[in-house]
Amino acid sequence: MREALLELVGAQRPGHLSANALAVACAPAAPLIGESVEVTLLSCRDDPTVPEPMRAALEHRYPRARTVRLDRGGHYPHVTATEDYAEALAGFLRR
């Protein structure tokens, strides 16, 4: 994921860099979660802030994770697509 973010950040002019993207790109990689922990990766197809390579990197890092892709919701599905988000979250909690 770090490589995907660095590529995204590197493509921007310095005056347009997002401080958050730069901070995440430069942060150390998150530790792997033990196999006994269930993980769900929830994303939205219309999220303009998370490029596909970043989603793919997360899926690669957590291959046993359940992946849920909402059709809509942008970067804040808990606000903009409340029902879809709640249904996805309830599905994870029922497992």
Q: 65's torsion region: left (phi>0), alpha (psi -120 to 50) or beta?
A: beta
Residue 93 has which token pair? 């909690």
Calculate ∠ Cα 81-52-70, nearest 5°.
Answer: 20
Calculate ∠ Cα 47-53-55, nearest 5°.
Answer: 55
- Using CB atoms within 10 A of its CB, is residue 23 exposed (0-12), middle (13-18) or buried (19+)? exposed
- Using CB atoms within 10 A of its CB, is residue 5 exposed (0-12), middle (13-18) or buried (19+)? buried
Whole-prediction pTM value?
A: 0.63
Q: Which sequence spans correspond to the domains of the chain?
A: 1-30, 32-95
Question: What pLDDT sits at residue 81?
Answer: 93
28-83 pLDDT, tens digit per residue, is 666 667 677 888 899 999 998 888 888 998 888 888 889 999 999 999 999 999 99
Helices (H), 11-68: 19-26, 52-61
1-23 pLDDT, tens digit per residue, is 556 655 655 555 555 555 656 66
